Amino acid sequence: MKREAFKMYLKPGYEAEYEKRHAAIWPELKALLSKNGVSDYSIYWDRETNILFAFQKTEGEGGSQDLGTTEIVQKWWDYMADIMEVNPDNSPVSIPLPEVFHMD
């Protein structure tokens, strides 16, 4: 199992909306993530910078950010595009973060 972390950018003023949308994450999206080996997925919000820090454990080759070819992920990206910084395809601007320390 791999541990992966990345950061994304939330637009100012959309903190409550971001939480609301994730509290009601679509069951089919959650099932797709699980089916593709994504688990222990958390997203944290840095209030000072509006940076979202995400952490997940993955099995297999990719994580949640590698499922962009699926219809449900593309729909989620479109749904979230108004409140996050996104790329031209509406995928979130996502910067991988290298692990520099881990302790079990």
Upper half-sphere CA count for residue 24 (Cβ side, 13 Å)? 7
Angle, in degrees to the nearest 10, between helices 15-23 and 71-80: 150
Tokens of 34: 């699980």
Residue of 20, 22, 79, 99 marked active site? 22
Tell me the C-alpha distance between 81 and 76, whole Å.
8
Contact (Cβ atoms closer than 8 angstroms) between residue 91 and residue 68: yes
User: Could you confirm whether 22 is annotated as catalytic?
Assistant: yes
Beta bridge partners of 55: 5, 42
Catalytic residue positions? Answer: 22
